[in-house]
Structure 1
Amino acid sequence: MSAVLRDAWATVVPDMEDRHGPLPPLMLTLTVVTGLVDAFSYLVLGHVFVANMTGNVVFSGFAIAGAAGFSLTASLAALAAFAAGALFGGRLAHGARTHRGRVLHRALLLETALVVVAYGIAEATAATPYAGTVQYVLIVLLGLAMGVQNAAARALAVPDLTTTVLTLTITGVAADSRAAGGKDSKAGRRTLSAGAMFVGGLVGAVAVQHGGPALPLLFAALLLVAASVAAFVLARSDAAWTKQL
């Protein structure tokens, strides 16, 4: 247990001399953002995810089979927007590939702008649940934002902190554990990653049900603004962690 707690602490309060420097807590913050945004998209925009593309592929199959409550058009729109966002995010990452802090900062500026615009539209729209043009505009904006985030996380390559995908993270906790014959399950960091997504989803769902449908996007935007400010400072660093792998 002590090893798990040490691993978790090193993720939240990292050693600045570590290969990934201050990036792990920022990746955890973006994981919370993912939970918030997907809570909004699934609960308010219909059965569609804007960050979890595995879910949208499965939902597309459900929709084709005629299952109630699933829209093939919405799932395809989310997939296309996410792919476009990943393309933009990839271009940003490659443009600043010599400095990981700049990769994060540029990606966060774009992602924050997209989420803020989405929040503005969601808050200004009186009729909910969102439907028609507004629904698809929100899906596209948020899909683009999550694609950018995922591309940046891929470029930064902080182990077990992808910000959007948990399947391999949870698999690693079990498969790399001593019970399975492994030596280092990194359970502290991996559990924090899953917990961050859970917290984002929980807070997002509570906000939708008891606050307002656009509230998860406001929370996500505030976290992104804070992360962007931190990334602005990090973009000026010349520490060893800023160099690409």
Structure 2
Amino acid sequence: MAIPSPLSNRPTVAAMLALTAVTGLIDTFSYLHLGHVFVAYMTGNIIFLGAGLQPGAHLLVAASATAVGGFVLGSLTGGRIAAQLSHRPRRWLVAALTTETVMLALVALLTVGGQATPGGRGAYVSIALLALTAGLQNSTVRHFGVPDLNTSVLTVTLIGLTADSALGGGPGAKARRRLGSVAAMLGGAVVGAALLPVSATSVVALATVLVASAAGAFAAGGTPGTAESVLGVP
């Protein structure tokens, strides 16, 4: 059973879209700055691991393995936090997002110190920490269960957007929410790619601010949303 949001519908959706943009930012940062590795898109890393076993593939298998390991650990951490605190949704979400904020801030410090260069020790630490944050976020969002706003995987969102559209013979429901999710991810990637040549640190710093803002929104509260309004149940 999905855990109801402690906020009303619109603030909840806004927080989820901010976290979706964070995924676009950190995956763009990791892929372009840390040596062609994803920290949130685990399907890509599994493919890299398989392809990298072939001679001459020129892929950083160790980087992908580090990302997968960090993601799994982050997901386990998120599950433990949810198991302990999900009966108190506000405290649970603030704890999970604050932990994510701290880890992103550590990566920003590594980047500003020039430690996060492809293939270096600092890069592997950054990959592990970013993957931890992505795993933690995905685990938390999975327990939260807001439809079409999983903050990381757009494949199902795009299928829902097209298959459920009027053109696809469906009712055309939730189109704006699904488009918002795609736009948030795309926007995060665009902004991340634009900022990287100027300052790699600024990309991670922006992601940190967005997660901290989402944590602050849940901490500040407001009118709690019912499960029906937030989850989109008629």
The residue number in structure 1 matching 2:171 is 183
Letter in 1 for 2:98: L
1:98 corresponds to 2:87 = yes
Letter in 2 for 1:74: A
Q: SS state of the match for residue 83, structure 2?
A: helix
Residue segments in structure 1 that go unaligned for 5+ positions in a row: 1-14
Computed over aligned residues only, the root mean square deviation of the Cα atoms, in angstroms, reads 2.2
Matches of 2:56 and 2:160, distance apart in 1: 33
Higher RCO (C-alpha 8 Å, min separation 6): 2
Residue segments in structure 2 that go unaligned for 5+ positions in a row: 1-6
Q: SS state of the match for residue 203, structure 1?
A: helix
CA spacing shift, 1:186–1:162, aligned 2, 3 Å? same
Quote how far apart the aligned CAs of 1:78 are: 0.2
Quote how far apart the aligned CAs of 1:66 are: 3.6
Quote how far apart the aligned CAs of 1:147 are: 0.6
TM-score normalised to structure 1 length: 0.84
- Pairwise mapping of residues 37-48 of structure 1 onto structure 2 (< 5 A)? 37-48=26-37
Letter in 2 for 1:23: T
The residue number in structure 2 matching 1:192 is 180
TM-score normalised to structure 2 length: 0.88
CA spacing shift, 1:95–1:217, aligned 2, 3 Å? same
Letter in 2 for 1:222: V
The residue number in structure 2 matching 1:50 is 39
- Pairwise mapping of residues 210-221 of structure 1 onto structure 2 (< 5 A)? 211-221=198-208
- Pairwise mapping of residues 1-16 of structure 1 onto structure 2 (< 5 A)? 16=8
**Would you say the 8 A contact 1:40–1:214 is kept in 2?**
no
Quote how far apart the aligned CAs of 1:239 are: 5.5
Quote how far apart the aligned CAs of 1:94 are: 1.6
Matches of 2:182 and 2:193, distance apart in 1: 17
Between stretches 150-159 and 20-29, larger displacement belongs to: 20-29
Matches of 2:223 and 2:83, distance apart in 1: 18
Counterpart pick for 1:233 among 212, 220, 228: 220
Quote how far apart the aligned CAs of 1:58 are: 1.1
- Pairwise mapping of residues 55-134 of structure 1 onto structure 2 (< 5 A)? 55-66=44-55, 68-125=57-114, 129-134=117-122
Q: SS state of the match for residue 180, structure 1?
A: coil
Identity %: 38
Question: How many corresponding residue pairs?
Answer: 224
Q: SS state of the match for residue 196, structure 2?
A: helix
